[in-house]
Amino acid sequence: MALKLNDRVKETSTTTGTGTLNLSGAVSGFETFVAGIGDGNTTYYSIAHRSEDEWETGLGTVTDASTDTLARTTVISSSNSDSAVDFSAGTKDVFCTLPASKVSFLDASNDLILGAGAAGVDYSLKFDGETSDGVITWMEDEDSFKVEDDLVMDSSKRLYLYDEGGEHISGDGTDLTIASGGDATIDAGDDIVLDADGANVTIKDGGTTTLDIVSNGTTDVTLDAPGDIKLDADGGDIFFVDGGTTFGSATNTSGNLIIKSGTTTALTFSGANATLAGDLTISGDDLTMGTNTNTAIMVADGTNFNPVVPSGDVGLTNAGVFSIASGVIVNADVNASAAIADSKLATISTADKVSGAAIQIDGATDGTSITLADADKILVDDGGTTKYITASQLNTYTSTSISADDIGTGDAAVTLTTSSGNITIDAAANNTDIIFKGTDATSDITMLTLDGSEAGAATFNNKIVATELDISGNVDVDGTLEADAYTVDGTTLAEYIADTSGAMFTSNTETGITATYQDGDNTVDLAIDAAQTVITSIYATDLILGEDSQTAIDFGTANEIDFKADNAARLTLTSSALYPVTDNEIDLGTSSLEFKDAYFDGTVTSDAFAGPLTGDVTGNVSGTAATVTTAAQSNITSLGTLTTLTVDNVIINGSTIGHTGDTDLITVASGIATVAGEVSMTTLDIGGTNVTTTAAELNLIDGGTSRGTDALADGDGILINDGGTMKMTNVTTVKTYMQGTAASKGFAIALAVAL
């Protein structure tokens, strides 16, 4: 079933009510709905009652039956408030029309208006009315266009978005370009896949490469930028994932960087400071700090550990050797009551006669080369009594514990070492810190603080210099994290990011585009499907669709569509006409490929017509060959003024009608036809009455026929003139008349003599 329109389709109907009309046949000079529209097709109709103020316009369905019908499928407007009219008795004219609401027109602003904008009603522009090809649909509720076929642009043209010269999409048959004067946003409800078979995805700024994503096959992806690479996550987290499992993240908290291992905070950066949530293990030999003064040691100042260079009488080399300056300890340093000059001393052999305070061993044998044994003796003052103890006793005492607050300030290098086991520094009080301090260019500083209230979080005064840093938890860097190389779980950071990004692209399930991660060269391939079923509308002020620059549809001119072929515009569609660009250049159809039917509501003007011509023709038909080939031509009602008309062997020329052998047989004048020959007919009708007399009987009247000898009988007829009217009577009537008056008797005698 198709919607059809045609000219001069008009019938009458006497159907009453609101239902389907029974059609009574075509009005003179028109054709029926079945002939003009066709069985099963729909058309726009108008019904007008001839004697009542009742009318209706709508969309109806034609049915070919013993009595043709028109179903009033949809009422568009009517005298009944645009509802179906309950037609009263009487004759109604029913004809094909085109409702005003179905007509596109140019408004006062020269805008082409299609439809009335009713909610839920879509409007389609079809370039092939018999199929669904070439359909552009305006979807009213969605406020957008839907195109049901491909849109092809010439390779030299662009699809501009918003305004010509700004954002656009273009292609040259090989490469696709998406250009934006500002930001370009790709927003997907699912994955976004970039599939580059060339293994590279390159991001440029003004033609200069700013980021090159390179895939080296199925493993690594390299992010290569001439400047910085920034990861901007508005959610505040950057996750590191391996095979779908998150093994770490970088989190922004109030502008500070927190690095997590798994889901556990490992390192927190605050400004230039870094706090470790766990232990810091340095596998190398060196700890490099921003302040690195020669011979400085780490000294705690109650808050921090700072590098401090030993000063005063104690010296320290960068080999770790402490020294006391020469002459520092003199007699004046000994209690005045115990001062004994060397010259006064003599060898004392009596026990308990020499106070331990008076013993000076400077001159004794150097014992640096001896090895202490458990039985070796050492002098001690035991509550005022000089005694000796063995080395093993001293070892037992010193191996227990010495209060840390009993250790005084030294003046030389100090080395803590053990041949086995651990060296433990324990700040046993609740929430107390372990602080390393030192001197930086004569300034006391706190170099390192281990915060007991934060599970031993380490706060360094300056940077950490290490050949290797192994952090089991998160790392929070508040500043720049710089390294010659980064690895994630044994994989370089660049490769890890490339693999993660590639997995994201490869898992894309979007419609119309496919992304493939090329792990071999760390690139992403994007492939756009040839058939784009999800594109519902394309808007552009200068839109050209075509195979190439030779063949295209150009929407570049307002209110006009140009169709190009062979690199030139051939056909133009405007709101009022479809016309060729160049006069007398293109054909409509070919000698072997013809259009089926053509319907015109108006005048068809042509220099010439070839082949059969059907339908109503107004005006003059001229040319060297104007031949009507169909035998029955009921629709030809006028031929205009002809000089001569020949139909088979009959010739009409001026006022004469004749035959090829006798061209002026009949001469026609006003009110009279003169026949210059014989008239041969089967039946002669005069005034509506057939003349049944034979030619032989008529010849009896002219007197030229010999008289017969037939005897008269009462039933025989006689032709008489009855007061100017020729009538037939019988012999009996004449006989009665002759037997009447004397006059009639005389007539009878005369008649008898004549006979």
- Position 753 scores a pLDDT of 45
pLDDT interval class at 205 (50, 70, 90): confident
The listed range with the strongest mean pLDDT (179-183, 406-410, 586-590) is 586-590
- Position 26 scores a pLDDT of 95
Asked which of 24-28, 230-234, 358-362, 441-445 is least confident by mean pLDDT, the reply is 358-362
How far is 718 from 117, CA to CA, in rounded Å? 88
Asked which of 612-626, 683-697, 723-737 is least confident by mean pLDDT, the reply is 612-626
Asked whether residue 751 carries a pLDDT value surpassing 60, the answer given is no
How far is 109 from 128, CA to CA, in rounded Å? 29
Q: What is the pLDDT of residues 542-596, one digit of tens each?
A: 788 788 877 888 887 888 888 888 888 888 989 888 889 888 888 888 888 988 8
How far is 469 from 490, CA to CA, in rounded Å? 14
Asked whether residue 390 carries a pLDDT value surpassing 70, the answer given is yes
- Position 257 scores a pLDDT of 87
Mean pLDDT value of segment 417-438: 87
- Position 328 scores a pLDDT of 66
pLDDT interval class at 362 (50, 70, 90): low
- Position 25 scores a pLDDT of 95
Give the start-to-end residue ranges of the domains of the chain.
Answer: 10-103, 717-754
- Which of 361 and 559 is assigned the larger pLDDT? 559
3-class SS of residue 746: helix
- Position 88 scores a pLDDT of 96
- Position 754 scores a pLDDT of 46
3-class SS of residue 743: helix
Asked which of 51-55, 129-133, 608-612 is least confident by mean pLDDT, the reply is 129-133
Tokens at 195, concatenated:
């599939």
- Position 640 scores a pLDDT of 64
Asked whether residue 663 carries a pLDDT value surpassing 90, the answer given is no
Asked whether residue 704 carries a pLDDT value surpassing 60, the answer given is no
How far is 98 from 579, CA to CA, in rounded Å? 23
How far is 271 from 476, CA to CA, in rounded Å? 10
pLDDT interval class at 626 (50, 70, 90): low
Element (H, E) at 12: strand 10-13
How far is 131 from 124, CA to CA, in rounded Å? 13
Q: What is the pLDDT of residues 452-508, one digit of tens each?
A: 898 888 888 887 887 777 777 787 777 777 777 777 777 887 777 777 777 776 776
* Count of C-beta atoms within a 10 Å radius of residue 720: 13
pLDDT interval class at 358 (50, 70, 90): low
Work out the mean pLDDT of the chain and round it to a whole number. Answer: 79
- Say what percent of the chain tops pLDDT 70: 81
Element (H, E) at 323: strand 322-324
Q: What is the pLDDT of residues 289-332, one digit of tens each?
A: 777 888 888 888 888 888 888 887 778 888 878 877 766 656 55
* Count of C-beta atoms within a 10 Å radius of residue 517: 27
Mean pLDDT value of segment 154-164: 71
- Position 594 scores a pLDDT of 87
- Position 633 scores a pLDDT of 63
DSSP 83: B
The region, left, alpha or beta by phi > 0 then psi within -120 to 50, assigned to residue 367 is: alpha
- Position 61 scores a pLDDT of 97
Q: What is the pLDDT of residues 261-280, one digit of tens each?
A: 888 888 888 887 888 888 88
* Count of C-beta atoms within a 10 Å radius of residue 424: 5
DSSP 375: T
656 burial type by CB count under 10 A (0-12 exposed, 13-18 middle, 19+ buried): middle
- Strands in 578-580's sheet, in edge-to-edge order, are 544-546, 552-554, 560-565, 568-574, 578-580
- Say what percent of the chain tops pLDDT 90: 13
Closest among 114, 115, 152 to 535, alpha carbons compared = 152
Terminal C-alpha separation, the chain = 83
- Which of 30 and 366 is assigned the larger pLDDT? 30
- Evaluated on CA atoms 315, 317, 318, 322, the torsion sign reads negative
- Position 691 scores a pLDDT of 79
Mean pLDDT value of segment 688-714: 70
Asked which of 197-211, 333-347, 428-442, 605-619 is least confident by mean pLDDT, the reply is 333-347
Mean pLDDT value of segment 439-456: 89
pLDDT interval class at 742 (50, 70, 90): low
Asked which of 259-268, 400-409, 714-723 is least confident by mean pLDDT, the reply is 400-409
Asked whether residue 371 carries a pLDDT value surpassing 70, the answer given is yes
Asked which of 57-66, 361-370, 486-495 is least confident by mean pLDDT, the reply is 361-370
How far is 92 from 10, CA to CA, in rounded Å? 11
- Position 79 scores a pLDDT of 96
pLDDT interval class at 355 (50, 70, 90): low
Residue 127 contacts residue 515 (beta carbons within 8 Å): no
